[in-house]
Amino acid sequence: MQIEGISSEINLIRSSRRSLAAEILPDGSVTVRAPMRMPEKEIVRFLSEKAAGIEKHVQKRLAQNRTLAVLPPFTPEDIRDMAKRAAAVIPMRVEYFAKEIGVSYGRITIRNQKTRWGSCTAEGNLNFNCLLMAAPPEVLDSVIVHELCHRLHANHSKQFYDAVYRVFPDYDRCNAWLKQNGGLLIRRMEAGNQ
């Protein structure tokens, strides 16, 4: 299937699902999942309406692939080194920002994760991805502030973001960096594990 405005070939998969969804695969191709009986013209209309957004993500994925071709994958030794550095750096940054925010916290764990940069449990335990050591220091700080602010608000409400911005006014720029580059860091880690 080909749609004007989308440079990649589109693979259609029908199943018992109830809604339409488009997924951009690591190679830049597009897979569309659709309900079994949905008319093709409805699928084409959906894709045509979303073409600009889909194409933007396709181009981003293709750019990441070009970058991956130049950047070496993270080796197991690289990951161990990042985890070691994270274990030395992150607790100090957590302590600093916890005082700024006025919260307590429990245990700090450093992990090598594919889907999360950080998390905060109901008990106040904090988990951070060691790949953050490959990000700029202010991006690491933004994740730490984000997780510590969950000690005040266990959601992503306006009050939560008000607390984040109060301590870290540059949060949006750092969060945008992570959204733009985080997938590349994870893909470099995955390439090193193959």
pLDDT at position 76, please? 92
pLDDT tens string 98-145: 999 999 999 999 998 888 999 999 999 999 999 999 999 999 999 999
Q: Are residues 115 and 171 in the same domain?
A: yes
Q: Is residue 3 part of a domain?
A: no
Q: Are residues 36 and 80 in the same domain?
A: no
pLDDT tens string 61-107: 887 777 666 678 899 999 999 999 999 999 999 999 999 999 999 99
Q: Are residues 49 and 80 in the same domain?
A: no
Count other C-beta atoms under 10 Å from residue 162's C-beta: 12
Cβ contact 5:47 at 8 Å: no
Q: Are residues 111 and 143 in the same domain?
A: yes
The one-letter amino acid at 174: C
- Averaged pLDDT for residues 23-50: 89
Q: Are residues 171 and 95 in the same domain?
A: yes
Q: Is residue 4 part of a domain?
A: no
The structure tokens 């339409």 sit at: 20
Q: Are residues 42 and 137 in the same domain?
A: no
The structure tokens 């919260």 sit at: 103
pLDDT at position 29, please? 86
Backbone angles phi, psi at 157, to 5 degrees: -80, 175
Q: Are residues 106 and 160 in the same domain?
A: yes
Residue-number span of the structural domain to which 185 is assigned = 76-192
Q: Are residues 51 and 138 in the same domain?
A: no
